[in-house]
Amino acid sequence: MKAAELCEDIRSYCLANANEAVVKKYARYFREGYDAYGLTTEKFNEKVTSILKDKGVDMKLVIEAGNLLVKSGKYEETGFAICLLKEFSEQFDIGTFKAVEKWFQSGIVNWAHTDIFCGELLSRFFEKKVITLKDLSKWRIAKNKYQRRAVPVAMLELLKTAKNYEPMFVFIEPLMTDEEEKVQQGLGWFLREAWKIKRKETEIFLLKWKNNAPRKIYHYATEKMTAQEKKRFKRDESR
């Protein structure tokens, strides 16, 4: 099977199982636009399973097909690219990483795909020690705001094993004045989860940036704090 054939098979399936009611149900979560067929989760998973049963489907084919699927702009097509590739995570190497990071330039244009990409793919690269934070350095200044969002979201995986959070806090500092809301939400999410595990370290960082970082970051970062605890991280009134 060739990549174009796999893409055509996926698209034919999507068209045959399109559901406008599903599109309407989820469109409200995507202010940036939601171009979807409307596959149910059940139908999506059925197709993923069916594709993977084909012995001719390997990681090389999935990456090649993924390059085409991600460019389409269709929500489910990018979803297939990510979910199929994760099944080959045992084979991930730096070449795989270099191939899929290009997907942000070609078609990852919403928060959901960004977060799925981080949870299903980037987390595996970190687990296997294929990449380190250094490999995401340029992502912090990427033109695609969702690639910048991916930095703190991908780092959620590192919170589980890192003994010292300070290097991670230093790493996200270039993003702490980012003007894009989706990036700010990702940063707030990361800092909230960091605070749950290492409060003192996280609070030192939050205090450092409270007068200069966007408040959206702090809205999410302090979400689990008590009202009294949140007061410490308000901007100084004199500013």
Q: Quickly list DSSP for the chain.
A: --HHHHHHHHHHHHHHT--HHHHHHHHTT-TT--------HHHHHHHHHHHHT-TT--HHHHHHHHHHHHHT--HHHHHHHHHHHHTTGGG--HHHHHHHTTHHHHT--SHHHHHHHIIIIIHHHHHTTS--GGGGGGGGG-SSHHHHHHHHHHGGGGGGT-S--HHHHHHHGGGTT---HHHHHHHHHHHHHHHHH-HHHHHHHHHHHTTTS-HHHHHHHTTTS-HHHHHTTSPPTT-
pLDDT by residue for the chain (239 residues), tens only, comes to: 899 999 999 999 999 999 999 999 999 999 888 999 999 999 999 999 999 999 899 999 999 999 999 999 899 999 999 999 999 999 999 999 999 999 999 889 999 999 999 999 999 999 999 999 999 999 999 999 999 999 999 999 999 999 999 999 999 999 999 999 999 999 999 999 999 999 999 999 999 999 999 999 999 999 999 999 999 999 887 65
Specify the pTM: 0.93
Does domain 132-239 sit in CATH 2.120.10.30? no
What is the reported pLDDT for 196?
97
Q: Hey, CA dihedral for 174, 179, 180, 182, is it positive or negative?
A: positive
Amino acid at 29: Y
Distance (Å, rounded) from C-alpha 81 to C-alpha 76? 9
What is the reported pLDDT for 239?
55
Amino acid at 208: K
Amino acid at 25: K
Distance (Å, rounded) from C-alpha 187 to C-alpha 107? 22
What is the reported pLDDT for 78?
97
Pull the structure tokens for residue 170. 């230093």
Domain extent listing, the chain: 1-117, 132-239
Question: With contact defined as beta carbons under 8 Å apart, do 90 and 127 qualify?
Answer: no
User: What are all long-range contacts of 134-139, with beta carbons under 8 Å and residues at least 24 apart?
Assistant: 135/97, 139/101, 139/104
